[in-house]
Structure 1
Amino acid sequence: MNEPITLAARATSQEERLQFLVRASRELALLKRDELARKARDLLLRASGFSELSLWVLDPRSEVLYPWTLCNTPVLGRRPRLSVGQGVAGQACAEEIPAFYPTLSEAQYIPEEWGGRQRSMIQGVLTLPLRRAGEPLGVVVLTKLDSTRPPEEDLSFLRELSIQLAIAVGNSRIYAEATREKVQNHLLLELGTKISVSLDTGQLLEQILDLVFQVVRYDAAGIYLVDKKTQWINQQAIRGYDPNREDAVRLKVGRGLIGWVAKTGRSVIVPDVLRDERYVNARAQTRSEMVAPLRVGSEVIGAFNLESDEPDAYEPEDLELLMTFASQAAVAIERTRLHAEVLETRRLEEELSIGQRIQRTFLPERDPKVANFDIAGANYSSGLVGGDYYDYVRITEGHLGIVVADVSGKGIPAALIMAAFRASLIAEVRNNYAIRTVFSKVNKLLWESVEVERFVTAIYGVLDINARRFTYVNAGHNPGLLYRAATDSFESLDSTGPLLGTLENATFKEKQAEIGRGDILALYTDGITESMNDVQELFGDDRLKDVIRSRKERSAAEIVRGVRETVGAFSGGEPDDDLTLVAVKGV
């Protein structure tokens, strides 16, 4: 375990403060939310003359601040909440500069921000915005027992300590997101397997309600179908309702939130059902509700409903999950309506949709902008759900992780294995600086969790932006190609270890390559070099080198696009396999 901080009082000398910062960095590293909130409270209060701390963390999707700690007390759930610009924490997040307030004005005072405490009891407030890599993460709010402004050197020390806390909060959120994503993908795989082997619709719908509860909490839930002839909405599986009030959950299309969704085909989140005129009271305890349509193609056949006893319980990401499970519920119901041939076609279409949705979640939205390099990447889908993957991992301000990988096989299993690979890679990158150690741990996880015939090939490296150096490990993947402008020649970044998931105790070696001005590094999957023309001739490494060389004066994005166009012209149409390429050009 990390060495505990032993300073009995505030750190006062420059040497003591430096030691405190080093120890704080160690103790805050790699903690989960609750542990991190408690440790941050203890450290900041111990290091200062302040008596109370609140830690507000920004949700990047909704631009809303949630407390991890409120007035020294850990907070469970997602309430209260502040919008950016609201209260002293919201104001600090918006202005992005520390501030000290001897007392609060009426305009600054939000009762929920202080656990209901009166404004007259609040004094000596310091706000410290938390940022990492230019992105806002949240705000620390400290209060004193008096209104005296602390010495500037004390404020400077607290700002340095808040930088360490920002790093820890960022790591904690990344780990939580990766873990949540891994659990979600596992549940989707489990559900897809259940649907593929069972025709018992009732049992499947009950299992869907069980699985949804693992990722989105509810107090009542129901899956409903529309009777096309009568336009009544009939329950298929429900939880949490009074069995003596079955009539309360039987509605006509267009009536109630469920009927509105069935009629319009639009999903909805209602933070307060008592304020929504569409709501029909089927449970006295319900305060918020979320409904997604059940679709078969373009036709709405029903609705999937979740209710909570807490107001404002659901977020947009919860609705995305519900819609995914709703599509699975629709598949389960449709299986009982269609003949075997049509049924199998629809199941494959839903499988493809889920696999593509999973695959899209782990491809980067944009290429990184960094000094000294022009970087571009792309994945061109063959129309099937493949196992290709590329990504960029921000490690530090001066270091960027780049990965290109490929899973054996296609379909949902390949997409989910790649999702597991991505989640474990990101988590281990945050825990280990040694690339070979990262790959050893990822390999062990895959060896324990994937089938014998499944494996992953990958090349992952860390680009030192200032030193222009790429340190990498190649686990049985296609050799990276490094074009040298000075000699008009290519070097090969060959394999430095076995395929991932094939050997329990596999080891990997690290290698380095310098990337000077005009040099071009190309990382790719075998869909490029193994593309065939009409006479069964492979595109091959030499043609790929020719494309890169002929476009050496162009941007990385133009090089990537040129490879796609050349491969397409060579193969005479859409490729049989996904094409993935990342180009890194020294500038």
Structure 2
Amino acid sequence: MDKTMKLDAANYKDLLKHYIETRDEQSLYGVEQVSKSFISNNILPEEIINLHIQALSDIYPNLSEEFQHSMDFLLEAMISYGLAHQEFQVLREEQMTMKSEISVAASMQDSLLHTTKPEIDGLDIGVISVPAHQMNGDYHHFIKGKDGSIGITIADVIGKGIPAALCMSMIKYSMESYPEESMYPKAILKNLNRVVERNVDASMFITMLHAQYLPTENTLQYASAGHEPGFFYNSETKVFEEITAKGLLLGVLPDTDYKQYERKLHKGDMVVLLTDGVTESKDGERFIEREEVLDVISQYAHLPAQEMVNRVYKHFERMQDFQLRDDFTLLILKKDV
């Protein structure tokens, strides 16, 4: 026992004796100070119990044998507690380190995958992407061409966390390296599929829908790699239609061709692109129907696109008690002229 422990032991015994005799709360304050000393000197719980037993034995040398046994039992319990507590502290420190690393990775992801929502005449764009946890497995990106066209990508990684974020950053910079004349949706997906198949772990796949809006022709060209079907809203019929576009997930087979589709957009038409975190929202224990998503979108169809997606997200966030089950990404294009 070192000098500090000896001083604390003597002080502890005096405080204990004084409290037993007087029930004076000042003694409890003194114990608080001794406890701080124990913490600063890394005194283990079983050492404190042993100190208490020794103090009692000095004060009351004729303690009953039963009481002494009970204190021995408490000492053994505290030894087990001390070992468990040490393990817990180690795990907690590792967890804090991991949280810190994930926080840094999430910040890097925001920086690497940052995209600017473009301004384009005749098209109102709204987008929201909220991760269920710190890292976002969803991805969206805009590329504005010199001819005024706009490339629009929405994707979901099957496989989350830091590897997914790194995978998405690779995809983003691959897309931005392609020459503008090869930015057609089917060409983009074919090239990205080759990149993913060669460079991404076989356990990780990516669903993606890439579209290109041509303002001079009021046309949306698009292709899908197994991505969650979105919707077209026809302003004339006031009906939502599911986007029909089929294609294999990125990274499954090396030489995959993707079919390209085309759709004319007229004033008041909308394009709704999303990830399964939207369509697989839960109301209690029940997964919602896709029609319910459209009903909510319809409620806010009169609003600007960005306010629309914000309101839709808030609706489903409240419905799920503010605990997302999956990453939530919703992108809406409104043809306003």
Provide TM-score, normalisation by structure 1: 0.41
The counterpart of 2:173, out of the listed 413, 420, 423, is 423
User: Could you tell me which residue of structure 2 aligns to residue 517 of structure 1?
Assistant: 267
SS at match of 2:283: coil
Give yes or no for the alignment of 1:439 onto 2:198: no
Corresponding position of 1:382: 132
What letter corresponds to residue 537 of structure 1 in structure 2? R
79, 84, 104: which is aligned to 1:354? Answer: 104
User: Contact 2:130–2:136 at 8 Å: present in 1 too?
Assistant: no
- The answer to whether 1:549 aligns with 2:298 is yes
Q: Bigger radius of gyration, 1 or 2?
A: 2
Alignment of 1:297-446 (within 5 A): 340-364=90-114, 366-428=116-178, 430=180, 432-446=182-196
AA at the equivalent of 1:510: Q
Q: Secondary structure at the match of 2:262?
A: strand
* Structure 2: segments with no counterpart, 5+ residues: 1-87
* Alpha-carbon separation, structure 2, partners of 1:517 and 1:486: 9
Shift of the 528–390 alpha-carbon distance from structure 1 to 2, 3 Å rule, reads same
Aligned to 1:127: none
User: What does residue range 102-181 of structure 1 map to in structure 2 within 5 Å?
Assistant: none
What is the match of residue 329 of structure 2?
A: 580
Tell me if structure 1 keeps the 8 A contact 2:230–2:271: yes
* Displacement after TM superposition at 1:520 (Å): 1.0
Change (3 A) 1:340 1:431: farther
- 8 Å contact kept, 2:113–2:169: no
Distance 2:258 2:117 in 1: 28
Structure 1 gap ranges (5+): 1-337
Q: Secondary structure at the match of 1:396?
A: coil
2:230, 2:242 within 8 Å by CA — same for their partners in 1? Answer: yes
Distance 1:431 1:469, change over 3 A: closer
Instruction: Tell me how far 1:533 sits from its aligned partner.
Output: 2.1
After TM superposition, give the deviation of residue 375 of structure 1 in Å: 0.7
Does the Cα contact within 8 Å between 1:358 and 1:419 map onto a contact in 2? no
Shift of 1:358: 2.9
Aligned length: 249
Residue of structure 2 in register with 1:89 after alignment: none
Matched residue type, 1:517: K
Residue 446 of structure 1 deviates from its aligned partner by 0.5
Counterpart CA distance in 1 for 2:254 and 2:229 is: 23
CA–CA separation in structure 1 for the residues paired with 2:249 and 2:186: 13
User: Shift of residue 549 of structure 1?
Assistant: 1.8
Deviations, residues 493-541 of structure 1 (Å, cap 9, x unaligned): 233310001111111010011221111111111111111122x211331
Equivalent-residue separation in structure 2 for 1:583 and 1:363 (angstroms): 19
Matched residue SS, 1:441 = helix
Separation in 2, partners of 1:358, 1:455:
22
Distance 1:551 1:339, change over 3 A: closer
Shift in Å, 1:383:
2.8
Matched, 1:482 2:232: yes
After TM superposition, give the deviation of residue 365 of structure 1 in Å.
Answer: 5.3
Q: Which residue of 1 aligns with 2:313?
A: 564
- Residue of structure 2 aligned with 1:537, choices 263, 286, 305: 286
The alignment status of 1:450 with 2:200, answered yes or no, reads yes
Question: Is the Cα–Cα contact under 8 Å of residues 232 and 272 in structure 2 kept in the other structure?
Answer: yes
| Partner AA of 1:411 in structure 2 | G
Q: Which amino acid aligns with 2:233?
A: Y
* 1:17-96 correspondence to structure 2 within 5 Å: none
- Measured after TM superposition, the shift of residue 339 of structure 1 is 5.9
Query: Does the residue aligned with 1:355 lie in a helix, a strand or coil?
Result: helix
- CA, structure 1 residues 540+426, in 2 after alignment: closer, same or farther (shift >3 Å)? farther
Q: 2 CA distance for matches of 1:446 and 1:437?
A: 14
**CA displacement at 1:408 relative to structure 2:** 1.2
Q: Distance in 1 between matches of 2:179 and 2:110?
A: 21
2:210 aligned residue:
460
The structure that is helix-richer by fraction is 2
- How far off its partner does 1:363 sit? 4.3
Partner of 1:285: none
One-letter identity of the residue aligned with 1:567:
F
Matched residue SS, 1:391: strand
Are the aligned partners of 1:376 and 1:582 in contact in 2 as well (CA < 8 Å)?
A: yes
Partners of 2:152 and 2:217 in 1: CA distance: 16
* Separation (CA, whole Å) in 1 of partners of 2:116 and 2:191: 28
Q: Identity over the aligned pairs, expressed in percent?
A: 27
Q: Provide the residue aligned with 1:500 in structure 2.
A: 250
Shift of the 577–389 alpha-carbon distance from structure 1 to 2, 3 Å rule, reads same
Other structure's SS at 2:178 match: helix
What's the CA shift for 1:366? Answer: 4.1
Residues 218-268 of structure 1 show CA distances to partners (whole Å, capped at 9, x for unaligned) of xxxxxxxxxxxxxxxxxxxxxxxxxxxxxxxxxxxxxxxxxxxxxxxxxxx
Could you tell me whether the CA contact under 8 Å between 1:476 and 1:497 is conserved in 2? yes
Is this contact kept in 2: 1:476–1:499, CA < 8 A?
A: yes
- CA contact 1:364–1:390 (8 Å) conserved in 2: no
Bigger relative contact order, structure 1 or 2, given CA contacts below 8 A and separation 6+?
A: 2
Q: Which amino acid aligns with 1:373?
A: L
Determine if contact 1:379/1:581 at 8 Å carries over to the other structure: yes
User: After superposition, what is the alpha-carbon deviation per residue over 1:8-35, rounded to whole angstroms, capped at 9, x for unaligned?
Assistant: xxxxxxxxxxxxxxxxxxxxxxxxxxxx
Does the aligned pair in 2 maintain the 1:539–1:570 contact within 8 Å? no
SS at match of 1:436: helix
1:374 maps to amino acid: D
CA change 1:434–1:368 in 2 (3 A) is closer
Change (3 A) 1:529 1:362: farther
559 and 499 in structure 1: CA distance in 2 versus 1, 3 angstrom threshold: same
1:432 shift after superposition: 1.4
Superposition deviation, residue 555 in structure 1: 0.8
CA distance in structure 2 between the aligned counterparts of 1:376 and 1:429, rounded to whole angstroms: 27
1: CA distance between counterparts of 2:98 and 2:220? 41
Question: Distance in 2 between the 1:550 and 1:339 partners?
Answer: 50
